[in-house]
């Protein structure tokens, strides 16, 4: 049900984009980019849209991710991702490499088994101090952007890889660092973006 609702909302937003462009106010709400991501702590597959900030030195993306029942239980994850892009390396006039883009994002898992706080009647105060639904992530990505003609509707297409960890993984690693390798607390995601 939630999966169908999420798809319907995203599809409706996509179809209404051309109608919204009629007004300057509504035009400013149209995303600058859209993307798909595989894995990376926000679902088996996730889709989202975002906005360029600070003259394209940063971006703010809103994603909805999905994990199917066959991969451990049906889950829907929403996230708001802030990414900083400190420098570009141009290769010719058609390719830009962004080798190190720090990223921060909270993610929230929807569902009956996930709560912002653990219920007090079941657990004593402070027994579980983290949220089962909310995770705070920190990571970095590398992006390769292929530029199109400046007057084209799709101005660029990019491929990226992102490594991130979250508050719970970091804490678990710190408590078990003599037994657990550092790299085990990171999750990888791979994606594609279109820039408008």
The tokens describing 139, both together, are 């990571």
Widest Cα–Cα separation across the chain: 63
The answer to which of 8-17, 41-50, 53-62, 154-163 has the lowest mean pLDDT is 8-17
Percent of the residues in the chain that have a pLDDT greater than 70, as a whole number: 81
Give the H/E segment covering residue 20. Answer: helix 2-20
Compute the distance between CA of residue 187 and CA of residue 77 in angstroms, rounded to an integer: 15
CB of 187 within 8 A of CB of 41?
A: yes
Please count the other Cβ atoms lying within 10 Å of the Cβ belonging to residue 154: 11
Element (H, E) at 12: helix 2-20
pLDDT value for 121: 62
For strand 95-110 and strand 75-84, is the pairing parallel, antiparallel, or unpaired?
Answer: antiparallel
- Domains belonging to the chain, first-starting first, are 31-115+123-195 (2.40.160.20)
Asked whether 104 and 137 are in contact (CB, 8 A), the reply is yes
* Digit-coded pLDDT (tens) for 93-133: 999 999 999 999 999 999 877 776 655 666 666 666 678 88
User: For 146, phi and psi rounded to 5 degrees?
Assistant: -105, 120
- How would DSSP label each residue in 114-166? --SS--TTTS-TTSS-S-SSEEEEEEEEEEEEEE--TTSSS-EEEEEEEEEEE
């Amino acid at each position: 049900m939630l999966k169908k609702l999420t798809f319907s909302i995203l599809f409706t937003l996509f179809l209404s984009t051309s109608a919204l462009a009629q007004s300057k106010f509504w035009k400013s709400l149209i995303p600058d980019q859209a993307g798909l991501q595989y894995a990376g702590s926000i679902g088996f597959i996730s889709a989202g849209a975002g906005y360029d900030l600070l003259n394209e030195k940063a971006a703010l993306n809103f994603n909805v991710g999905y994990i199917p029942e066959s991969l451990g239980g049906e889950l829907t994850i929403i996230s708001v991702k802030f990414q900083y892009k400190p420098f570009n390396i141009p290769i010719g006039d058609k390719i830009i490499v962004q080798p190190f883009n720090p990223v921060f994002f909270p993610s929230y898992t929807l569902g009956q088994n996930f709560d912002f706080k653990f219920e007090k009647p079941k657990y004593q105060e402070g027994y579980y101090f983290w949220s089962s639904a909310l995770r705070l992530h920190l990571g970095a990505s590398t992006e390769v952007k292929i530029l199109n003609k400046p007057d084209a509707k799709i101005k660029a297409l990019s491929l990226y890889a992102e490594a991130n960890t979250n508050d719970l993984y970091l804490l678990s690693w710190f408590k078990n660092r003599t037994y657990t390798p550092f790299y085990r607390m990171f999750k990888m995601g791979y994606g594609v973006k279109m820039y408008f």
